[in-house]
Amino acid sequence: MSKEVYIDPQCELAWEGTMDMTFQEKSAWGLLISIGLVSFFYFPAAFDIADSASHPSALAGISIAGVIALVIIEAIYHSVIAGSSGSGGSMDERDAMIDMRSERNAGYVLAIGLFWLVGHIIATHSLAEKEPVGALTIAVWILFTLTASEVAKLIFQIWDYRADA
């Protein structure tokens, strides 16, 4: 069944049969885009530093810069959507169920990622010809796994909001 596009009286483009996005869905979209944008620049640089540096000060510098960038992007985005949505971010039962399901699925992604990381560490330590993984590299992989889990949570949230719309 295809959905038809129409222009409503307020001259807004809308899809027939869909609801407006809630504050939580808009927030999930903004957080997904901002995490993706910051991660796109952060993780390649972090892995390069972790593989080449023996001191964590350089890694701490770009980590602080990444957190500051993420906070600024999120503060601006959330102030814009809070101003445009009017009522703010009150959650109802539907939002709570979507949040609970997405948190559960994000936990699965986190568990799989951490089990893979432990297996990778064990495999590299058991092979004589491979150099063991350094502590900074392991730290960046843990952060990457946590970030992947949060991205999965946001994708599951958006999926559930769109499926219920």
Which residues does residue 147 pair with via DSSP β-bridges, in sequence order?
none
Say if 26 falls within a structural domain: yes
Establish if 14 belongs to a structural domain.
Answer: no
pLDDT for the residue numbered 93: 87
95 is a domain residue: yes
* pLDDT of res. 7: 54
d(CA 132, CA 110): 23
Per the structure, the complete domain to which residue 98 belongs is given by: 21-164
Q: For the stretch 135-147, what's the b/e string if a residue is b when 16 or more beta carbons lie within 10 angstroms of its beta carbon?
A: ebbbebbebbbeb
Contacts of 51 (CB under 8 A, 6+ apart): 134, 137
Residue 18 is predicted with a pLDDT of 47
Q: What number of H helices and E strands is found in the chain?
A: 4, 2
Q: What is the pLDDT along the chain (165 residues), one digit of tens a residue?
A: 455 554 545 444 444 444 577 888 888 999 999 999 999 999 999 999 988 876 788 888 899 999 999 999 999 998 888 887 665 567 788 888 999 999 999 999 999 999 999 998 888 888 766 777 788 889 999 999 999 999 999 999 999 988 875
Q: Which token pair is 151?
A: 């991205």
Would residue 15 count as lying in a domain? no
Rounded to whole angstroms, what are the CA distances from 82 to 2, 65, 69, 87?
A: 32, 26, 20, 8
Within-domain flag for 12: no
- Domain membership of residue 13 (yes or no) is no
Asked, for residue 7, whether it belongs to a domain, the answer is no
Please tell me the total count of domains within the chain.
1
Residue 3 lies in a domain: no
